[in-house]
A and B are shown apart, each in its own frame.
Chain A
């Protein structure tokens, strides 16, 4: 476990400071994980074993970095949290500043539930980017969340992630245009959702085995679908726009490969 602090940082509600280390040493196996919760102000660099014990907010102007190889375990909100501080009643990582996840194929950053979720219920909210800036999530393994990565008016780079068993893989809403490259989104309810004027670039993703839609596009969104493998979902592409270019040969083996939708469908 390690935490590097640069500039002003204030962590509320239970962050245990592990020290100010210039470079994170390898964490001994027996070392207790760093517990974080509350507001992460300033610049925070995390590595090793981290435990999200409650909601975390990265406010506008602040930055948090997860080094390659970090494992973040998320404690589920106890009982019925009735006054969620932020966007979800589940434990959430909410970023209004900058998020940098520096995982690699060999050394991913893992976001995992601390305990197995009950059947069909997400264990935590996910990574929520709300007007976040200059953010990138690369090489992450995200499991058991309601939404793997939610982008609200945010346009991060999302590359090389594996999002597994999350209700929604990636949501882009409110004019978000993330670059979604080479990710795997599998075994959720749905893969990628484009809502409310969102225009992400989807390239090289594998979107497979979701119970409902692989990719959903509402009437006001215009994603660029470029060489994605969409297979094994109930519906491969569910689209309001009739004129989105995509390679239909990559959309196959779904219960229904392509469904064009009618009605308003999120028209602005």
Chain B
């Protein structure tokens, strides 16, 4: 009977949502599993408490009014989820979380805020825009697939969480993705046109088959973290890949046409292999007191330097293609202790005689359209 009652309630709420729409005003809480369908207006803070699941059906649009009481530019209305969120749209009928304002702007509303939710939260085919933090989580697990985060102050921000992100587009936010103390997989996604693309601390990031392009400050920045980056294109950012006190395996990527450096390694331990690193303005790779190796990469066609060792230690760069196997040409592409006393040397011995054949990137064809 209880199951029947719950089903009836879900049906009623669903029907209500299809009608003139649901309105939540002030501080409210859902006390039972609920289905949203159609138009929903959140004019306050709505809590989904532990044990309660909010289902959001395809085509639903959830709008948040702007309320900002302390002048910090951060909208305060939000979803506060301690239970579970299951938002599933379709390609034809995505779920949309957006501003209710006529003239919307980033930060109009707070966040989809998931706090200590132990169950797997799911967002599929969801669009989130004009939030302060589009997706925000603490101590949570979540899976995000085929979602768009755009024109938020921060597209996604989380900590102490495990998050799988696949086939998503994060664009035109101030910060695209920002997290700490988290374990993250980011695959087949696009991060573009943000100030910061991806930034994290104390985290593990597996980045594969993504495009990280046109971010104004850094494409991907990790501090005190670990990175596995495979088959990504990181291009047109100010710095492409920037690691500080981190560990990394960077293989089979393209790091192209970044304004400053393709890769900047500071006090990091990295293996950088079989990448195409070209067209970057100042240095293809800048190496500051880093460890590890560069091998099997294409380092030709960068601006001021192919490799710049600004640290005191040696840089192991044996077995790369420099655009030429001529020792003089290779030396001219490197800045190290040969140029300035106090800087470490670059070991560029055993250069490749011709460009290595690198695996072709297999980025999803429909990324361009999403």
Q: Please report A residues at the B interface, Cβ cutoff 8 Å.
A: 10, 12, 38-39, 41, 59, 80, 82-83, 86-87, 152, 173-174, 193, 195-196, 212-213, 216, 218, 235, 238, 240, 259, 261-267
Could you say which residues of chain B place their CB within 8 Å of the CB of A41? 71
**Residues A263 and B280 in contact, CB atoms below 8 Å apart:** yes
Q: Which residue of A lies closest to B235 (CB)?
A: A264
* B216 interfacial by beta-carbon distance below 8 Å: yes
Given A152-B216, A263-B278, A265-B279, A10 and B71 contact (CB-CB distance below 8 Å): yes
Distance in angstroms between the alpha carbons of A39 and B257 in the assembled complex: 35
* B217 interfacial by beta-carbon distance below 8 Å: yes
Could you say which residues of chain B place their CB within 8 Å of the CB of A238? 282, 303-304
* B281 interfacial by beta-carbon distance below 8 Å: yes
- B286 → chain A, closest Cβ, in Å? 11
Q: A216-B282, A262-B303 are in contact. List 15 more A-B contacts (CB 8 A).
A: A12-B72, A80-B223, A80-B224, A82-B201, A173-B216, A212-B304, A218-B281, A235-B304, A240-B303, A259-B304, A263-B280, A263-B302, A264-B280, A265-B279, A267-B279
Given A212-B304, A263-B278, A267-B279, A12 and B71 contact (CB-CB distance below 8 Å): yes
**Residues A265 and B303 in contact, CB atoms below 8 Å apart:** yes
Distance in angstroms between the alpha carbons of A259 and B281 in the assembled complex: 12
* B70 interfacial by beta-carbon distance below 8 Å: yes
* B66 interfacial by beta-carbon distance below 8 Å: no
Given A12-B72, A87-B195, A87-B217, A262 and B238 contact (CB-CB distance below 8 Å): no
**Residues A80 and B195 in contact, CB atoms below 8 Å apart:** no
**Residues A264 and B73 in contact, CB atoms below 8 Å apart:** no
Could you say which residues of chain B place their CB within 8 Å of the CB of A259? 304
**Residues B257 and A264 in contact, CB atoms below 8 Å apart:** yes
Given A82-B180, A174-B216, A263 and B279 contact (CB-CB distance below 8 Å): yes
Given A12-B72, A173-B259, A216-B282, A261 and B216 contact (CB-CB distance below 8 Å): no
Q: Could you tell me how many residues of chain B have their Cβ less than 8 Å away from some Cβ of chain A?
A: 32
* B189 interfacial by beta-carbon distance below 8 Å: no
**Residues B301 and A263 in contact, CB atoms below 8 Å apart:** yes
Could you say which residues of chain A place their CB within 8 Å of the CB of B216? 152, 173-174
Could you say which residues of chain B place their CB within 8 Å of the CB of A38? 72
Could you say which residues of chain A place their CB within 8 Å of the CB of B71? 10, 12, 39, 41
- Chain B 49-93, CB-CB to A under 8 Å as 1, else 0, gives 000000000000000000000111100000000000000000000
| B79-134 with Cβ < 8 A to chain A | none
**Residues B278 and A261 in contact, CB atoms below 8 Å apart:** no
Distance in angstroms between the alpha carbons of A187 and B230 in the assembled complex: 39
Distance in angstroms between the alpha carbons of A259 and B202 in the assembled complex: 40
Could you say which residues of chain A place their CB within 8 Å of the CB of B178? 83
Could you say which residues of chain A place their CB within 8 Å of the CB of B180? 82-83
Most buried by A among B71, B178, B256: B71
Could you say which residues of chain B place their CB within 8 Å of the CB of A174? 216
Q: Which residue of B lies closest to A88 (CB)?
A: B217
**Residues B279 and A173 in contact, CB atoms below 8 Å apart:** no
- A59 → chain B, closest Cβ, in Å? 7
- B134 → chain A, closest Cβ, in Å? 16
Q: Which residue of A lies closest to B245 (CB)?
A: A80
| B155-209 with Cβ < 8 A to chain A | 157, 174, 178, 180, 195-196, 201-202
Could you say which residues of chain A place their CB within 8 Å of the CB of B303? 218, 238, 240, 261-263, 265
Given A174-B216, A235-B304, A264-B257, A39 and B278 contact (CB-CB distance below 8 Å): no
Distance in angstroms between the alpha carbons of A31 and B256 in the assembled complex: 53
- Chain B 314-328, CB-CB to A under 8 Å as 1, else 0, gives 000000000000000
Q: Which residue of B lies closest to A174 (CB)?
A: B216
Distance in angstroms between the alpha carbons of A146 and B180 in the assembled complex: 24
Q: Which residue of B lies closest to A220 (CB)?
A: B259
**Residues A196 and B259 in contact, CB atoms below 8 Å apart:** yes
Could you say which residues of chain B place their CB within 8 Å of the CB of A82? 180, 201-202, 223
**Residues B259 and A266 in contact, CB atoms below 8 Å apart:** yes
**Residues A216 and B223 in contact, CB atoms below 8 Å apart:** no
Given A10-B71, A173-B216, A195 and B259 contact (CB-CB distance below 8 Å): yes
Please name 22 pairs of A and B residues whose Cβ atoms are closer than 8 Å in the assembled complex, sorted by A: A12-B72, A39-B72, A59-B73, A82-B202, A82-B223, A87-B196, A173-B238, A173-B259, A195-B238, A195-B259, A195-B281, A213-B304, A216-B281, A218-B259, A238-B304, A240-B281, A261-B304, A263-B303, A265-B281, A266-B257, A267-B257, A267-B279
- B313 → chain A, closest Cβ, in Å? 15
- B292 → chain A, closest Cβ, in Å? 22
Could you say which residues of chain A place their CB within 8 Å of the CB of B280? 263-265
